[in-house]
A and B are shown apart, each in its own frame.
Chain A
Amino acid sequence: MSLLRTVELRKQFGATLACNGLDFTVDKGEFLSLVGSNGAGKTTLVNLITAHIRPDSGQILFEDRDITSLSVAARIKAGIARSFQLVNLFDGLSVFDNVALSIFARDGKTARIAALAARDGDVRREAREVLGEFGLAAKSELPAGELAQGERKLLDVAVAYALRPKLLFLDEPTSGVSSADKAQIMDTVSSVVRSGAVTAVVIEHDMDVVFRYSDRIVMMHEGSFLADGPPDAIRANDAVASILLGLSPEG
């Protein structure tokens, strides 16, 4: 059953066609990787689905409901969350507060002004639990700005995950970290996401990571889909191989 479906989704920036009438589907419960060279349109597609930008034309359906005109806040409420390519955290707040805030926002508690945030036992318990799952419990009192890069990437995912979305987009969760950290981050992220029964769409450049963790891989090139299938099929696809080797698909 498809959780998300786009119909003829199109977005053009000047002369660049970032999304060329895309029909993109995400099935419930899968761990999908979106791959392709820089400028292939991966981030644009995610930005369109999460309402960061508006499409020129086309439709976005989430659980068979048209969400094309919904605001960012309404889409989050519907169950779509995301993390960002460049780490986007609240650096002045503690690691704990970063996650707690996500829970407060999800539960509509951010308007509470007459109670201390630290006194909310439910939120405190859940925030601790999420931080534990992501292996950040020991750092919870540190300001987020003082974490190491790998931990920042994990916290970025944890903040999005704490919204308890049905569909979670992760834009390059392992960019800018060492390859040793990459495996650790992806192990953590994939196990949390799978145990939480969250459907995840990951934009990723490292093909080792992609082949190892994905249920399905979708390859983009110049605003269109080039290939779509399970890791083995993608590995055997000549067009994909030539792109990955930096050749043009025609050549």
Chain B
Amino acid sequence: MEAAIARPRLHARLWPYAGAALALLALIFVPGFVGLYQTQLLTYGLIMAIAALGFNLLLGYTGLLSFGHSAYFGLGAYTVAFLLQWLGIRSMELYMLLGLPVVAIVSAAFGYVCVRHTRIFFGILTLALSQVLWSLALKFFWVTGGTDGLRVPRPTLLAGMIDFAGSGGYPRFILTYYYYVLGVFALAAAIMWVIVHSPFGKALQAIRDNEIRARFLGMRVRRFRWAAFLLSGTFTGLAGILWVPLNGLTTPDVLYWPFSGEIVFLTLLGGFRNFSGPIVGGIAFTYIKSYAVASTEYWQLLLGTVLVVLVLLLPTGIVGALSKIAKRLSAIGETVR
């Protein structure tokens, strides 16, 4: 009897790990079946998934809606461009090693200001600060290249062991970089999983649900929000760092508010109440957008329609809707048995 009760609960515990392993396995084999363009698109999707995982630590787990996450993504991208321009660095590992502290420091500074408020005031502050970075990138064109942006050619990977110079470098880069990004993505997702399931992550969720009660358990609410902001910005910054060599160029567009909107959009698309929602959203959004852009010049209209339909029909996002269906099916299964 005891074992009969224990078994399904054990299954429930292991399910996420099994799902993650299957998804990872599928992602490893995808490039063998699709073309270069699809592989590249999926790389963009994984990068946006990392950005959204970071964003969702604030929205889904801490209950703070940021409208300024373009700031950290763009900061990551521009830091890489500056490291190349000023120091001639071409190693992807150094980009991350030096870029992440820069993003973390700026996230800490911006976060310190923003977490003094919540709700719409928080959102407006994040938006305002991201617009400051955007206008700096736009106006200081002798440093940032203005609207022309800064070029970032293919970096070297694994401490310079893999170089993509010479002929045939492009297809080799796309394929290799896909696996590189997949590795970083898997690591980032695992780290985020531990964060949201740690005592710290539970405390964030408690603050999200009931700030007053959290305070009356002795928690320093603002400090937790600040730490969440720092981590969130840093994850999104990591996405920016990974994005720029693939795109080959960074422009002020990645600092501009519509890009913050895209991060919000894709997280809602996937579902912010689930851990995997932002991942699914990041990949799905990348596909929807690229096909929308390719099929009509009114692609913004198409995306807008998707958003409206989403809010009306799938308020919990793709993953939220799927898990609801799965729950219903298993309930039917129980009654049949």
Contact = CB atoms under 8 A, between A and B. Distances in A.
Interface stretch (B47-55, B126-134, B203-211): B203-211
B205 A90 contact: yes
Contact of A72 (B9, B198, B205, B218): B218
8 contacts: A50-B216, A73-B215, A92-B209, A112-B200, A113-B199, A113-B200, A117-B201, A160-B216
Contacts of A93: 202, 205-206, 209
Q: How large is the interface on A (under 10, 10 to 19, 20 to 34, 35 or more residues)?
A: 35 or more
B213 interface: yes
A82 interface: yes
Contact of B194 (A88, A92, A97, A116): A116
Contacts, number: 97
A116 B16 CA distance: 14
A91 interface: yes
Contact of A113 (B201, B212, B213, B220): B201
A141 B12 CA distance: 11
A118 interface: yes
Interface of B: 9, 194-195, 197-203, 205-206, 208-210, 212-220, 224
Interface stretch (A12-20, A100-108, A181-189, A226-234): A100-108
A1 B214 CA distance: 31
Given A90-B206, A112-B199, 9 more contacts: A50-B216, A88-B213, A93-B202, A93-B206, A104-B199, A104-B203, A106-B217, A113-B194, A115-B199
Given A90-B209, A116-B194, A116-B198, A163 B203 contact: no
Contacts of B201: 113, 117
B199 A120 contact: yes
A67 B218 CA distance: 15
A12 to B, nearest CB: 23
Interface in A49-79: 50, 52, 72-73, 76-77
Query: Among A91, A116, A118, which residue has the most Cβ atoms of chain B within 10 A?
Result: A116
A77 B218 contact: yes
B198 A115 contact: yes
B327 to A, nearest CB: 13
A110 interface: yes
Contacts of A104: 199, 202-203
Contacts of A52: 216
Contact of A111 (B195, B200, B205, B215): B200
A159 B205 contact: no
A104 B212 CA distance: 17
B61 to A, nearest CB: 10
Given A76-B216, A84-B213, A105-B217, A114 B194 contact: yes
Nearest to A111: B200
Contact of A159 (B194, B208, B217, B224): B217
B213 A90 contact: yes
Contact of B217 (A91, A102, A141): A102
A105 B198 contact: no
A192 interface: no
7 A-B pairs with least C-beta separation: A76-B218, A90-B209, A105-B217, A113-B200, A88-B213, A110-B203, A104-B199
Contact of B198 (A84, A88, A113): A113
Contacts of B210: 88-91
Contacts of B217: 76, 101-102, 105-106, 159, 163
B209 A81 contact: no
B194 A105 contact: no
Contacts of B197: 116-118
B202 A159 contact: no
